[in-house]
Structure 1
Amino acid sequence: MKRISKWFLLLIVSSAIFLSVIDLFIVNVAIPSIKKGIRGTDSDIQLVIVLYVIGYAAFLITGGRAGDYFGKKKVFITGILIFTLASCMCGLSQNALQINTGRLLQGISAAFMVPQGVAFIPILFPDIKEREKALGIYGSIAGTASVIGQFLGGILPDTHFFIEGWRLVFLINLPIGILSALLAFKFLEGASTKGNVMVDNKGAPLASAEINSNRSGQAEISKKHWKGFNFIGLGLMIFSLISLIYPIIQGRELGWPNWSVVMLVLSLLTLLAFLYNQRKRLAVKKDALINITLFKNRNFNIGLCAALFYYMVQDSYFLINALQLQTGLGISSSLSGFYFVFQGVGYVVASFISIKLVPHYGKYVLLSGIGIMIISLVFHLVVLQSHVVSTALTLPVLFVYGLGCGSVLPTMFTISMKSIPASLAGAASGIYLTFQQIAIALGVGIVGGLFFHVLGDDFTTSNYLKAYHTATIANIALLILVGFILFLLPSTNRNGFSR
């Protein structure tokens, strides 16, 4: 049987993270054009971003479990196909309800396809050194997708073929998704592979009988795990997330009606019920969505708090800057996308450098990155304040902001996980990634809501500037808080963080 290069298979499984990342960043830049295209309100376009990350956060742990039960290949392909279908739904939407339904479906399907792509890597690369290289490539693909997304998010809305340009922001996923699904169907196997020949844990080819035995054994184990899945906990988590985020976004626009306050209270009560459910399941040695014993780890708690406030800044930054550039200052979508590419390039450059510096200087690399981001945001306030925006000044300011992001983001996860035992690493990473998505939703809801609150119904340039200044100052305050939290981490020695 012809062998397929595992590096080619890596590209196939990496298509999931490529699609999920590019679809987040491409929308961030194109949001003003999308708002105009669907004739949406301020809260409608906040939901375009938020529903995607809520769907992803709520089903991320479930998505990983589904791969164990139904088979990684099946879930991977199904997830990509549903993601592609949802992208088509978004691209053909005629109103806010349709596009936001599609965005929620995109987020949910991403939560199923991305964990399978990650899970295939140790299967394809049993050798530790090769696996590290593969993970590096996987990470670089995700980073590249963010830059490409920012570029296309600016270019595509200004491109008009037979349909409105903003629709291409979503429809561009169709050829990528269909091709990825076809290649995965043809070349990926559901278990360990060496080329496209199935192998055991030592790399030796398995006979057909062994393969069937292996599959049935794994299926039986997975079936038992799935029967014990915490569906009640999943329902409580989803309800708590929706009850928190939806009123934060819609309540402001509707004048904080009684139902919005009730939902916020229900969110807190449901969260407490969820934590009780998780504690109770752990006490009787049943699987839980999150292992709450991890919250006893001080460094992990510090990392989670820092991530919470940091990711509140991340996507709210793109939202308010895209609106300020394109709607407030009248800059074209294409030029706006070009500006954001420089931010992405700065991120990629700094991420490669910071990885080498962190083992020697630890948390001070992150603190320096936070300082760079704060200084850059101050210059944002100076540069982005008139109809005549100087490209010569804007590009370096955005590039420097990217340098700050690249110094913080790639290593924050590693630092949070540093003192976690290997046996709990999977559970801890699931909690961290869920916190990450929740924080993004909160940032768009709270900082974005602050921007729209100050803007009100006065769409003059001066009022846009006032709204932008207020929201950016809020982001600066959040970054100062992140810096303070990171400072609480242990100091470093020659080998990096002490424990």
Structure 2
Amino acid sequence: MGRSISKWSLLVLVSTAVFLSVIDIFVVNVAIPSIKIGIKGTDTDMQWVIVLYVLGYASFLIAGGRAGDYFGKKPVFIIGMAAFTLSSFLCGLAQNTIQLNIGRTIQGISAAFMVPQGISYIQVLFQDQKSRTKALGIYGSIAGAASVIGQFLGGVLPEIHSFIDGWRLLFLINVPIGIVAIFLSIKYLENTAIVRTQKFDSLGAALLVLTLACFIYPIVQGRELGWPLWIFALFGLSLLISLLFFWQQRIRQNKGKLTLIDIRIFKHRDFTVGLFASIFYFMVQDSYFLINVVLLQTGFGISSFNTGLYFVFQGVGYVIASLVSIRLIPLYGKFVLIFGVILMIVSLLFHIFLLDGSVTARPFFPVIFFVYGIGCGTVLPSLLTVSLRSLPSSLAGMASGTYSTFQQTAIALGVGIVGGIFFYNLKDPDRNVETYLEAYRAATILNIVLLLIVSVFLFFISHRNEKLSPKAN
């Protein structure tokens, strides 16, 4: 069917994918204590609520991008959106943690298929560089707005007590948005050319999923199981499968066949160093929300609503800094990112000293969350850019997908390790405020160490001052 609405309206339509995928991360991050109470889950169950979403996303992200080329972007986008909408409905009706986490896994997998199509449509809809840059800016703004809205709703919705538990609304609000997006996509989106010159790498996709599953499962579940020997065997198995995966990818590449990951990207030093920096950074990203939300709501007894408001300050700081930092990167390069990491570290030190359970310290909470958001907004939007800029354009798309896969895996890893240390220190059934504070300090110190590692990796990225001289202008 011919397009009968403007390309800017279509941009908003395809951006619903990233809006829903991002908002679903942040509403859960803020509302995790309410979900735990409502579903009668354990601390480990709540880690899985976060981990399974990002693990499903990471495992199928590259395959999701390839599927759009192989089957057409329109059907993959619609099917992904439909699966996300249905799984959100199932999460909202879940009666136990097994049902909830099955729904969360499907949510993550479906997001991995719908989000890459939205990004790809921008390349199709906006052919010239100027309009494409503007479109990508709007797309990024929608994702940023989703993070702030998600943090607010994560605080507000669990406070609603009506015919349905408020925490269920966290998932059910996706349903009407998804239905409208599906209807409009069927009516207005045009399909793209189908590229089936080579067979899809299904074996590589399976090996990647097995690698991530065998690696993340023992990290999250090992603490609750008492670290039996078979848990450590899974770590070894994940290493063997990962080696098999990269070997299989190299063979396919040497034969000229389609691969999930182009091994050549790892020969570029700045990309590899930037990738390691991003891994340690994203280990902090969601674990920060997890331990702070549990401390505030469960440890201090602060309401879900007020907790959400505190994190809105963090989101506002992020948005402001992201708008400023993207203008500074061409002038000062990696040093902008290093400054942002240092600001995050300083903020976390103030977190440790000010989040002490006393009522007198609470007026300072918005300030420290805002400053932390400023640090995040300085680092996150440009971390990928700094990592990719030394790559030839022919490898940029592949490298971006690989980067995103490692990013999501690192989030799961951080929730497993940092969250595991936090909950390990809460093993005493007679928990009091001081117990929560000790657990929080231990986990936050680890996050500070991780950020210090990030700053070291960033230092070794090649510095490029891209400021134009007057003559160049």
Taking structure 1 as the reference length, the TM-score comes to 0.92
What's the secondary structure of 2:197's corresponding residue? helix
Aligned 8 A contact 2:280 2:451 in 1: yes
Please give the residue correspondences for 1:307-326 in structure 2 after superposition, counting only pairs within 5 Å: 307-326=278-297
Please give the residue correspondences for 1:95-494 in structure 2 after superposition, counting only pairs within 5 Å: 95-191=96-192, 218-219=193-194, 222-225=195-198, 228-388=199-359, 390-458=361-429, 459-494=431-466
**Structure 2 partner of 1:199:** none
Deviation at 1:69, TM superposition (A): 2.1
**For residues 214-254 of structure 1, what are the alpha-carbon distances to aligned partners after superposition, in whole Å with 9 as ceiling and x for unaligned?**
xxxx44xx2333xx221111111101100010111111111
Deviation at 1:91, TM superposition (A): 0.7
Please give the residue correspondences for 1:45-124 in structure 2 after superposition, counting only pairs within 5 Å: 45-124=46-125
**For residues 461-487 of structure 1, what are the alpha-carbon distances to aligned partners after superposition, in whole Å with 9 as ceiling and x for unaligned?**
110000000000000000011011101
Pair 1:494–1:78, CA change in 2 (3 A): closer
Deviation at 1:175, TM superposition (A): 0.9
Aligned residue identity for 1:123? V
**Structure 2 partner of 1:213:** none
- Tell me how far apart the structure 2 counterparts of residues 261 and 301 of structure 1 sit (CA, whole Å): 27
Q: Which runs of 4+ in 1 moved over 6 A?
A: none
| Identity in percent | 59
What's the secondary structure of 2:158's corresponding residue? helix
Deviation at 1:492, TM superposition (A): 3.3
Aligned residue identity for 1:370? V
Aligned residue identity for 2:62? I
Aligned 8 A contact 1:51 1:103 in 2: yes
- Tell me how far apart the structure 2 counterparts of residues 174 and 376 of structure 1 sit (CA, whole Å): 37
- Tell me how far apart the structure 2 counterparts of residues 3 and 279 of structure 1 sit (CA, whole Å): 45
- Tell me how far apart the structure 2 counterparts of residues 411 and 56 of structure 1 sit (CA, whole Å): 21
- More deviation in 385-394 or 431-440? 385-394
What's the secondary structure of 1:484's corresponding residue? helix
- Tell me how far apart the structure 2 counterparts of residues 165 and 243 of structure 1 sit (CA, whole Å): 34
Aligned residue identity for 2:157? L
Deviation at 1:259, TM superposition (A): 2.1
Deviation at 1:430, TM superposition (A): 1.0
Aligned 8 A contact 2:3 2:189 in 1: no
**For residues 233-278 of structure 1, what are the alpha-carbon distances to aligned partners after superposition, in whole Å with 9 as ceiling and x for unaligned?**
1111101100010111111111011221111111111111111111
Deviation at 1:2, TM superposition (A): 7.8
Any stretches of 5+ residues in structure 1 without a counterpart? 192-217
What's the secondary structure of 2:425's corresponding residue? helix
Aligned residue identity for 1:378? L
What's the secondary structure of 1:160's corresponding residue? coil
For the pair 1:34 / 2:35, whether they are aligned, the reply is yes
Aligned 8 A contact 2:33 2:298 in 1: yes
Pair 1:408–1:2, CA change in 2 (3 A): closer
Aligned 8 A contact 1:76 1:116 in 2: yes
Aligned residue identity for 2:351? H
Aligned 8 A contact 1:370 1:479 in 2: yes
Pair 1:49–1:157, CA change in 2 (3 A): same
Deviation at 1:31, TM superposition (A): 0.5
What's the secondary structure of 1:466's corresponding residue? helix
**Structure 2 partner of 1:208:** none
Aligned 8 A contact 1:330 1:387 in 2: no
Q: Across the two proteins, how many residue pairs are aligned to each other? A: 466
Aligned residue identity for 1:119? S
Aligned 8 A contact 2:4 2:188 in 1: no
- Tell me how far apart the structure 1 counterparts of residues 167 and 259 of structure 2 sit (CA, whole Å): 41
- Tell me how far apart the structure 2 counterparts of residues 281 and 395 of structure 1 sit (CA, whole Å): 52
Pair 1:93–1:280, CA change in 2 (3 A): same
Any stretches of 5+ residues in structure 2 without a counterpart? 469-473
**For residues 50-103 of structure 1, what are the alpha-carbon distances to aligned partners after superposition, in whole Å with 9 as ceiling and x for unaligned?**
100111111111111211222211111111111010001111111110000000
What's the secondary structure of 1:224's corresponding residue? coil
- Tell me how far apart the structure 2 counterparts of residues 353 and 320 of structure 1 sit (CA, whole Å): 28
Q: Alpha carbon RMSD of aligned pairs, Å?
A: 1.2
Deviation at 1:319, TM superposition (A): 0.3
Aligned residue identity for 2:17? A
- Tell me how far apart the structure 1 counterparts of residues 441 and 90 of structure 2 sit (CA, whole Å): 35
Deviation at 1:434, TM superposition (A): 0.5
Deviation at 1:288, TM superposition (A): 1.1
- Tell me how far apart the structure 1 counterparts of residues 278 and 62 of structure 2 sit (CA, whole Å): 19
Aligned residue identity for 2:96? N
**Structure 1 partner of 2:471:** none
**For residues 436-485 of structure 1, what are the alpha-carbon distances to aligned partners after superposition, in whole Å with 9 as ceiling and x for unaligned?**
00100000000000101111134211100000000000000000110111
- Tell me how far apart the structure 2 counterparts of residues 237 and 17 of structure 1 sit (CA, whole Å): 23
- Tell me how far apart the structure 2 counterparts of residues 426 and 16 of structure 1 sit (CA, whole Å): 19
Taking structure 2 as the reference length, the TM-score comes to 0.97
**Structure 2 partner of 1:13:** 14
Deviation at 1:389, TM superposition (A): 5.8
- Tell me how far apart the structure 2 counterparts of residues 3 and 234 of structure 1 sit (CA, whole Å): 37
Aligned 8 A contact 1:346 1:399 in 2: yes
Aligned 8 A contact 1:383 1:389 in 2: no
Deviation at 1:16, TM superposition (A): 0.3
Pair 1:446–1:96, CA change in 2 (3 A): same
